[in-house]
Amino acid sequence: MKKNSLFILFLLFAGIAFGQSEPEKETKSHTPNLPGLFLVDLGVNVSIHAPDTWNQGFWGSRTVNVYYQYPFRFGKSKFSFNPGFGLSLERWKFNDGATLINEEELGPGGVPAATQIEQYNLLNANTIYPKAANKSMFVTNYFEIPVEFRFDTKPEDLARSFNFAVGGRIGFLYDAFTKVRYTDLGEVVKIKNKLNHGLETMRYGVYTRVGIGSLSAFMFYNLSDMFQDNKGPKGTNMNSLTVGIGLNGF
């Protein structure tokens, strides 16, 4: 009986020792290591050279940019050239129940006239809808190509590096519409009007960024007019400025 107990204890210790000496299997990470930078910008839009009728709400007028950029480092220097592509999704919020309407097509009482002159202005939504708008938005979405020259104090450690960039972008309009929400007889009505609304189909501008690691502040200034000649509100050649913060992943 004593010999059996000693034999069982021997087997237990041998098993423990074998288990501890067994080499650990190396675990492989399958996380993709994609080159380049992914950027997400959150900003507010400010109109430049807009007429008095352009009564926008500040916080509701916003932009979300989603870009991918691939850096080309100049040798071992701290400078790089970063071309890219992405989307710029803009929102313009209007106050006092106004929306963009082609007023030249409206006759007395809001009845469409025979003329087809295209000129948009901010008018009360009940010019064409039964009620004034409780909420009114103008949405413009662009496919964009940004290019920039960037300086990094620590190119070998971008997560802890101070960075500064200047660049330009070209955008191509692929979607635009107004959204109006109003209440009629106790029912909430939402209307989306998908039209170009006299916008220029291509825009271009300049921008700058400054930040540390993945966080930055940016400013975009559109050099081109937002609307085509004589098609914007009161025929004004307005453009826009966007400021905000950006996040990037390495």
Summarize pLDDT for 57-113 with one digit per residue, the tens.
888 899 999 999 999 999 999 999 999 999 999 999 999 889 998 876 555 554 444
pLDDT digits (tens, 9 = 90+) for 125-163: 888 888 878 899 999 999 999 999 999 999 989 889 999
Q: What is the pLDDT of residue 175?
A: 96
Q: Which two tokens stand for residue 14?
A: 């041998």
Residue spans of the domains in the chain: they are 40-249
CB-neighbour burial class of residue 43 (10 A; exposed 0-12, middle 13-18, buried 19+)? buried
How confident is the model over 193-209, as a mean pLDDT?
A: 95
**108: its two tokens:** 């007395």
Per-residue pLDDT for 247 more than 70?
A: yes
Give the per-residue pLDDT at 26: 47
Residue 130 vs residue 177, higher pLDDT = 177
Is pTM beyond 0.85? Reply is: no
Q: Please list, in sequence order, all residues whose beta carbon lies within 8 angstroms of the beta carbon of residue 6, skipping any fewer than 6 positions away.
A: none
The share of the chain scoring above pLDDT 70, in percent, equals: 80
